[in-house]
Amino acid sequence: MSLPDWEQSESSKDLAVRTLFIVWVILLVPWLPYAGAVVMVMDGGFSFSGLMIILSVWSYGIAVLVAFALRNRSRKAVLLPVLSIAAIVTSGLFDWLLTHWR
């Protein structure tokens, strides 16, 4: 009895990369109007959290373009847009730290 081969084939890795890239491109559709409207976060006053949200939302489109440009060099480049999503999630933590440690 032999152990199963846990390594994925090259075609399934390419399919995963293509699928994830298609998801990023589909997410660009609602991003377009949201990228312009996100500046209203600063209407209530300046905050580090608001600045992080603006920068991370604007950098999402750039990250998708860079991932598209690097898609032939590295499969891991398709994960680049995750960084801007992670910045949105952590911006609330940064704002909480700045307001409670003063």
- Per-residue model confidence as pLDDT tens digits over 41-65: 888 888 777 787 888 888 888 889 9
Radius of gyration, alpha carbons of the chain: 18
Average pLDDT over residues 18-35: 88
Q: By the 8 A CB rule, do 31 and 55 touch?
A: no
Q: Provide the whole-model pTM.
A: 0.69
d(C-alpha 63, C-alpha 24), whole Å: 10
Taking residues 72-97, what's their average pLDDT?
81
Task: Tally Cβ neighbours within 10 Å of residue 16.
Answer: 13
Q: Considering all CA atoms of the chain, what is the largest pairwise distance in Å, rounded to the nearest integer? A: 67
Average pLDDT, stretch 16-30? Answer: 88
